[in-house]
Amino acid sequence: MKLGGLVQEEENEEMKASKLCERYDPKKKRWEKMISLKTARVGLCAVGVEKAGEIYVLGGGPTLYGKTKFKTVEIYSKNGKKESWTVGPPMKKPRKLFCK
């Protein structure tokens, strides 16, 4: 699964934070688009909760090395064919590049 990150749309353009989300389908052997994040972000942390079928995206920022950090949380869920990202409770402190 790919969530957010940096993208470069034009060769001479600066890299920008992305809302793009994709998942790999091993049966079809290809990447498929998912519904986009609400906030473009890079340096985020993502955690899957298998029993709930949810993905939590935490923190990150608008640029990789800038000082701005997010404390926002987005939660992915799927109900049948309907996918959604909802805003979760914010973290106590903003964080970026903190997943290991």
- Per-residue pLDDT tens digits for 2-56: 888 888 777 777 788 999 999 999 999 999 999 999 999 999 999 999 888 899 9
CB 55 within 8 A of CB 46: yes
Whole-number pLDDT of residue 91: 97
Q: In what order do the strands lie in the sheet with 82-87?
A: 45-49, 54-58, 73-79, 82-87
Q: What pTM did the predictor assign?
A: 0.87
- pLDDT at residue 79 in the model: 87
CA distance 30 to 26: 7
Q: How far apart (Å, rounded) are the C-alpha atoms in residues 63 and 51?
A: 32
Query: What length is written for the chain?
Result: 100
Pairing of strands 21-25, 2-3: antiparallel
On the question of pLDDT at 72 being above 80, the answer is: yes
